[in-house]
Amino acid sequence: MEKLKQLFFEKSQALRAEVKRWSKEQGDKQVDSVSVRQLLGGARGVKMMLWETSKLDSIEGIRFRGYSIPELRELLPKGDGKEPRPEGLFWLMLVDEIPTEEDVKWLTDQWTQRSNVPEQTFKVLEALPPDTHPMTQFIAAITSMQSSSIFARRYAEGLGKSEYWRPVYEDAMNLIARLPRIAAYIYRRTYHGGDHIAPDISLDWAANFAHMLGNDSEDFKDLMRLYLTIHADHEGGNASAHTSHLVNSTLSDPYLSFAAGMASLAGPLHGLANQEVVKWITNMLDALGTSNPSKEQIAEYVQGTLKAGKVIPGYGHAVLRRPDPRFMAQKSFAEEHLSDDEMVQVVWKVFEVVPPILQGLGKVKNPWPNVDAHSGALLMHYGIKEYSFYTVLFGVSRALGVLSAMCWSRALGLPLERPKSVTSGWLREFLNQA
């Protein structure tokens, strides 16, 4: 190994062991208002941010403005479909009121009117090799639209602080309106040889997205309405929301802030887990040579994954301590529409097998499935089989939460986010004195 790399290896390995020991042996000690374990452990549970649009409870799961997912499936306007329209959730998150059918129709019309994607965005996408990961394409496309940020222009013109929220609202509305067209364009160029499908402006936001992806069935439109609703927000501490929030706190505009959040969503411990789940199941079925594995076969495969030092994708959560209500909502959709689907059957068997195994490890805080454990099987059923695309769908939905929250952050004049870091030398001295 070259000298620099070797030196880094030796020093980092020594400190890694020491840091692990501090967390294990002195984790409960307080450093100001947080414990040593929280300081070293990714700030788990540290309350340090105002986030209006949703709140996560470890047992109940997510509530958007106080409403659970089952309640939203009842209460939000559905138009002529069976699932809530994501437009209604955006309205609720932004103004804390359940909208009427008429309000939602107005919002659909607004997003249709604002949905024109700048020509340069398509040029940027066409410049990328088609095998570029869809999330990389998505982030490049969002960034390419930054020159149309109204916030960036108005700020440069000398906008006063109390007015920041106005152009942020306009950018949020424009960005959300354009995302389905961009995502569908990425999908069709990457997997369907550039055979694009023109938008149908008579449809609502999610149904038009389903149409541009290439499936016009009413069930798939409903799945997209549900999918884009339940993935929208998960309070502010999750990595994609928090990244957007942090970047926007520097007054970076909504395009750049949202693009940064999407880079965060593209990590396999976060949103990319939805592609990893289908990859893991597909590899398992290939390895076992069956599309209908027994629970014993699945258990053995799970043990093999763990022995190889890997995580079981779609299981575990930093906050939740029960099966994710977003998983359960997708399960209930599957029970109603596609309970005979082979992949869905496998997902349900995995749900029976994995939790007791993870529980048995003694270190996993939440052995239950999260949102990503189910979504891929539903998409596969409706013909969206290219799993590297799945995180883009998550990202289109996440825009609703982070951009409505961004309007609030700027309206409330929240300051630049700036937590404090310490060095290992400082912590060593602190622990020696304590």
Q: Which stretch binds ligand CMX (CB under 6 A): 3-11, 80-88, 221-229, 308-316?
A: 308-316
Q: Which residue, 75 or 311, has its beta carbon nearer to ligand CMX?
A: 311
Q: Is residue 372 annotated as part of the catalytic site, yes or no?
A: yes
> Applying CB under 6 A, does 312 fall inside the site for ligand CMX?
yes
> Applying CB under 6 A, does 326 fall inside the site for ligand CMX?
no
Q: Which residue, 186 or 273, has its beta carbon nearer to ligand CMX?
A: 273
| DSSP H or E run through 72 | helix 69-75
Are the C-beta atoms of 236 and 249 separated by less than 8 Å?
no
Q: What angle do CA 304, 371, 274 make, to 5 degrees?
A: 60
> Applying CB under 6 A, does 24 fall inside the site for ligand CMX?
no
Q: Which residue, 64 or 185, has its beta carbon nearer to ligand CMX?
A: 64
Q: Do strands 34-35 and 54-57 pair parallel, antiparallel, or not at all (unpaired)?
A: unpaired
Helix residue ranges, H only, 317-365: 325-337, 342-361
Among 137, 190, 252, 370, binds ligand CMX (CB under 6 A): 370
Q: What angle do CA 305, 308, 313 make, to 5 degrees?
A: 40
The least distance separating ligand CMX from the CB of residue 268, rounded to whole angstroms, comes to 7
Among 313, 355, 376, 401, binds ligand CMX (CB under 6 A): 313
Are the C-beta atoms of 38 and 46 separated by less than 8 Å?
yes
Among 270, 374, 381, 398, binds ligand CMX (CB under 6 A): 270
> Applying CB under 6 A, does 307 fall inside the site for ligand CMX?
no
Among 107, 371, 377, 393, binds ligand CMX (CB under 6 A): 371
> Applying CB under 6 A, does 271 fall inside the site for ligand CMX?
yes
Among residues 171, 219, 324, 372, the one annotated as catalytic is: 372
Q: Which residue, 223 or 320, has its beta carbon nearer to ligand CMX?
A: 320
Distance CA 350, CA 344 (A): 10
User: How many residues can be counted in the chain?
Assistant: 434
Structure token pair of residue 338: 């596609």
Distance CA 138, CA 63 (A): 28
The torsion region of residue 410 among left (phi > 0), alpha (psi -120 to 50) and beta comes to alpha
The least distance separating ligand CMX from the CB of residue 374, rounded to whole angstroms, comes to 11
DSSP code string of 179-193: HHHHHHHHHHHHHST
Catalytically active residues, by annotation: 270, 317, 372
> Which positions lie near ligand CMX, rule CB under 6 A?
269-271, 273, 311-318, 358, 363-366, 370-372
